[in-house]
Structure 1
Amino acid sequence: MLTRSTRSKVTFSNDFKIGESQQEILAGTYEIVVEEELIQGLSFEAYRRASTYLMVRGRGRNAGQTTMQMTTKEELEHAMACDRALSETNNDSEAALSPQKDTT
């Protein structure tokens, strides 16, 4: 079966968890690898997603190691939506706003 891989990057502003994993992943930029396989027997070229991986670089005593954490498109989109919502909430909080000038 013919396969292809595409790579992209996603940046999380906040620490996050993805899927059912209880491991908290630190905020930062991560590479996403999507593997797709060619659907045979069609009169045109079409691919279907076979797997999605989040590349997680080790930190601390695991520095220098990279793991491919298998995930799904839906889990990844959910983690990104939660990160966006948390960032918007933090930006709207009073603590995040600049102090107002006293005009009295």
Structure 2
Amino acid sequence: MNMRATRSTVTFSNRFTLRGYPGDLPAGAYEVLVEEERLLGLSFEAYRRTGTYLSVDAKAAGPGQSALWVTTENDLNEALRRDADRSAADTHSDAALSPQEDRR
């Protein structure tokens, strides 16, 4: 069985939750590891995702250490969507309007 792994980075602007993870995670950049297996017997090269992991600081493991937290592509995308929605809502605050803009 042929396997491959790819790494990427996602950035959260706000504290966020991830299904199955106990508690909130702080804003910041997180490394994502995706494992895939090659599908054999096809006339073209294709892969199937077998695992998605988010690298999270492991406070219990000691300073400077991290752990890979199992997640899914859908759960990670949902957390990123909620973060983007929250960031967009924060940029549309009435407090940011000048008095001239407020009169419109």
Query: Shorter-chain-normalised TM-score: which range?
Result: 0.7 to 0.9
* % identical equivalent positions: 42
Question: In 1, distance between residues paired with 2:2 and 2:63?
Answer: 34
Question: In 2, distance between residues paired with 1:13 and 1:86?
Answer: 9
The Cα shift of 1:63 comes to 2.1
SS at match of 1:75: helix
Q: Which runs of 5+ in 1 are unaligned?
A: none
- Of 94, 98, 101, 1:100 maps to 98
Question: In 1, distance between residues paired with 2:29 and 2:74?
Answer: 19
The Cα shift of 1:61 comes to 8.1
- Cα RMSD of the aligned pairs, angstroms, is 2.0
Question: In the comparison of the two structures, how many residue pairs are matched?
Answer: 100
Q: Which moved more, 1:5-14 or 1:51-60?
A: 51-60
The Cα shift of 1:42 comes to 1.0
Aligned 1:1-104 pairs, distance under 5 A: 1-58=1-58, 62-95=62-95, 97=96, 100=98
Cα deviation per residue 1:48-101 (whole Å; 9 max; x = unaligned)?
A: 000000011245983211010110000000000000000011111224x1x626
Q: Which moved more, 1:72-81 or 1:41-50?
A: 41-50
Cα deviation per residue 1:13-54 (whole Å; 9 max; x = unaligned)?
A: 000111132321100000010000001111211100000000
Q: Which moved more, 1:21-30 or 1:83-92?
A: 21-30
Aligned amino acid, residue 100 of structure 1: S
Question: In 2, distance between residues paired with 1:8 and 1:80?
Answer: 14
Q: Cα–Cα, structure 1 residues 28 and 60, in superposed 2: closer, same or farther, change >3 Å?
A: farther
Q: TM-score when scaled to structure 2? A: 0.86
